[in-house]
A and B are shown apart, each in its own frame.
Chain A
Amino acid sequence: MNSSVEITNGGGASPKALPSFSFGKSGFADKLFQKLTAFFAFLILFLALLTAYTLWKAAGPSIEKTGWSFLASGDWDPVQGLFGSTPFVYGTLVSSFLALLIAAPFGLGISLFLTELAPMKFRDPVAFLVEILAAIPSVVYGLWGMFVLAPIMRVHVDPLLEKLGLPFFKGPSTGLSILTAGVILSIMILPTITAISREVFEAVPNSYRESARALGATSWETIQLAVVKPSKVGVLGAIMLALGRALGETMAVTMVIGNNPQVSSNLLAAGHSMASVIANEFSEANSDLHISALAEIGFLLMVITLVLNVAAHLLVWATTTKFKK
């Protein structure tokens, strides 16, 4: 889309391409300005390093004391000074994957609807509504989750699931569970999946679609062959970015997950997550080791989301540039 604007080498031109008409003073001012903006750009790198370093240092005492067992231990006992991260990692991962499982089909369906299928007049309003979903603050989702979603889960949905007799759905349910957290997260990450998938789908050149149509494909077949298949990698990236968002979500999760640090295969049981334990316990930690352990969990969370985000961005970027060639 930008290509019509890019003429020579993009919107900006490096000073080297300019004819040297920089008279003494303004030449100096130009250099200064460039250095100044470069400095601010550098600050971003600095900020990233600062974040990582600060977390690492804050987590230090806990890392020293617990070492690798922090990752393997399920014991979270601040009073005894025992800290293990497994219940939180478990809760975060399970609720986020559940969210993906629910949101991915919807997100893809909606983005296909928006890019391929909907009549023009529906596209903007629907896209707009999806963006509103993205703008709603987490704490408002949490409020709705506590007072509306959780009771619905407890009274209507969970008993039905219990009837299936699977080990994942064992009663009794209070409505505050990993499942409920997964559901609310799915609503929150839906806009991310939709928006980025749209971007990816829109990057597919129309010639692909036209070729499929020329061969007599139906809308759905066109989508499968000419849109989704070539951009599979990008869609994967969209899903990974959404996963990243779900992993870090704090308020909505803490208000519906039940806040019980346990690892249980029962999705209807209360659980905990990395972000919620930090939210609940940080300002009230009873010892420096406790704060440090929480910082270690924060560090772990940051590492996981970072790795995921880096991989996801690379995938999305790879796909959209592939089509520019």
Chain B
Amino acid sequence: MKNFKKILIGAAVAATFAGVSLAHAGVSLNAAGATFPYPIYSKWFYEYNKAKGVQINYQSIGSGGGIQQLTNGTVDFGASDAPMSDEQVAKVKDGVMHFPTVAGAVVLAYNVPGVETGLKLTPSVLADICMGSVSKWNDPEIAEINEGVNLPDLNITFAHRSDGSGTTNIFTNYLTKVSVKWAGSVGFGTAVKWPVGVGGKGNEGVAGLITQIPGTIGYVELAYAIKNKLPYASMKNKTGKFVEPSIASTTAAVAGAKMPPDFRVMITNASGADAYPICGFTWLLINRSYSDAEKGTAIKDFLKWYLTEGEGMASDLYYAPLPASIVDKVEKKIEMIK
């Protein structure tokens, strides 16, 4: 029996080595960060690997994690939908540059029996739900803006993030802009003290909670809602119009954005008649200089690739690609990486 165990171990080791030799001997990069763009990033890394053979191992652990890992130097680049603050940037030894990749919409996905589609929400009702002052689906505040919709007498469960999240940042940034009460009591950030609700890990976790528990509403990136066949609400935007989240309404929000040279900007509550009010950019966090020249070159190549080939894949996954004017500016920035 001892021999059997030896054989088993030997087989396992041999398999490992076989795997090693079969694996492409190309460069491999480690990255971690936002779950918000995970669907498009995983597509990009998969396609890029097929095209160029470079392995990019991306772990979708939330923007907070991405920033921390980059600061600790445990990954080669990070990803976040919350732009890093100046203090955070100062802590990164090799410097940080923000490269916007796509823009996405943070939607309020819900699971309300009897309401298949078409739920409408206003900023104040949304804030009330998130603060717990509106706790039933058939509350008059909700019924008022949803005439003709059969709202059940069911308790509202609000699903939020339990981890450090750029999606949370975008969502709470919006709530802070539109609700004085929210701004005063909770504020915005990658993690906040939620007055009510259950926490899920990553966009995946929140979407999971919504699918599993009837009566739940939560905020997730558009792609997650669509992939999960979850209905999502139309929001009343700054101009007073109820807008459905979509590539078009996200692009409208982006169009109004004034892009600073370091590309760090929040586009929540955008003005524009057709703009969806809860949108945000998401960025790749790249060091200013890479001591490993091979890695630096590989990263620069990938950046060029996503700007040219990758952007085209964005709309299939319900993300708004960057407008051409921004793409140009970003391309120029790639040269600044050493």
Are A and B subunits of one complex? yes
State whether A284 and B199 are in contact (beta carbons under 8 Å apart), knowing that A174-B213, A260-B194 are contacts in the complex.
no
Contacts of B155 in A (CB 8 A): 171-172
Cα A314 to Cα B102 with chains together (Å): 60
B191 A258 Cβ-Cβ under 8 A: no
Contacts of B209 in A (CB 8 A): 174, 176
B181-194 contact mask (Cβ, 8 Å, vs A): 1 or 0: 00000010111111
B162, CB-defined interface residue at 8 Å: yes
A286, CB-defined interface residue at 8 Å: yes
Nearest Cβ on chain B to A4's Cβ, whole angstroms: 27
B201 A259 Cβ-Cβ under 8 A: yes
A249-275 contact mask (Cβ, 8 Å, vs B): 1 or 0: 000000000111000000000101000
A284 B215 Cβ-Cβ under 8 A: no
B216, CB-defined interface residue at 8 Å: yes
Instruction: Choose from A75, A259, A287, A291 the contact partner of B200 (Cβ within 8 Å).
Output: A259
Looking at chain A's contact residues, is the secondary structure mostly helix, strand, loop, or mixed? loop
In residues 69-123 of chain A, which contact B (Cβ within 8 Å)? 75-80
Nearest Cβ on chain A to B161's Cβ, whole angstroms: 9
B191 A270 Cβ-Cβ under 8 A: no
State whether A172 and B215 are in contact (beta carbons under 8 Å apart), knowing that A260-B199, A280-B163, A284-B163 are contacts in the complex.
yes
Cα A78 to Cα B212 with chains together (Å): 28
A197-231 contact mask (Cβ, 8 Å, vs B): 1 or 0: 00000000000000000000000000000000000
A280-294 contact mask (Cβ, 8 Å, vs B): 1 or 0: 110111110011000
Nearest Cβ on chain B to A215's Cβ, whole angstroms: 50
Residues in chain A within 8 A of chain B (CB atoms) = 75-80, 146, 150-151, 154, 171-172, 174-176, 258-260, 270, 272, 280-281, 283-287, 290-291
Nearest-CB residue, chain B, relative to A176: B198
Cα A83 to Cα B27 with chains together (Å): 40
B216 A286 Cβ-Cβ under 8 A: no
B157, CB-defined interface residue at 8 Å: yes
Instruction: Choose from A77, A154, A283 the contact partner of B191 (Cβ within 8 Å).
Output: A77
Cα A171 to Cα B156 with chains together (Å): 11
B37, CB-defined interface residue at 8 Å: no
Contact-size category for B: 20 to 34
A-B contact pairs, 16 of them (CB 8 A): A77-B191, A78-B190, A78-B191, A150-B212, A154-B213, A174-B216, A176-B209, A176-B213, A259-B199, A281-B162, A281-B164, A285-B64, A285-B164, A286-B68, A290-B68, A291-B68
Q: Which of the listed residues B61, B154, B163, B200 has the most CB atoms from chain A within 10 Å of its own CB?
A: B163
B67, CB-defined interface residue at 8 Å: yes
A258 B189 Cβ-Cβ under 8 A: no
9 nearest interchain CB pairs? Answer: A284-B65, A79-B189, A259-B199, A172-B155, A286-B64, A259-B162, A284-B62, A270-B198, A258-B198
In residues 144-183 of chain B, which contact A (Cβ within 8 Å)? 154-155, 157, 162-164
State whether A174 and B61 are in contact (beta carbons under 8 Å apart), knowing that A77-B192, A286-B190 are contacts in the complex.
no
Known: A172-B154, A175-B212, A270-B198. 16 other contacts (CB 8 A): A77-B192, A77-B193, A78-B64, A78-B164, A79-B187, A80-B189, A172-B157, A174-B157, A174-B213, A175-B213, A280-B162, A284-B62, A285-B68, A286-B67, A286-B164, A290-B68
State whether A281 and B193 are in contact (beta carbons under 8 Å apart), knowing that A172-B155, A174-B198, A259-B200 are contacts in the complex.
no
B123, CB-defined interface residue at 8 Å: no
Contacts of A76 in B (CB 8 A): 193
B64 A258 Cβ-Cβ under 8 A: no
Cα A252 to Cα B19 with chains together (Å): 32
Instruction: Choose from A175, A258, A284 the contact partner of B164 (Cβ within 8 Å).
Output: A284
B65 A285 Cβ-Cβ under 8 A: yes
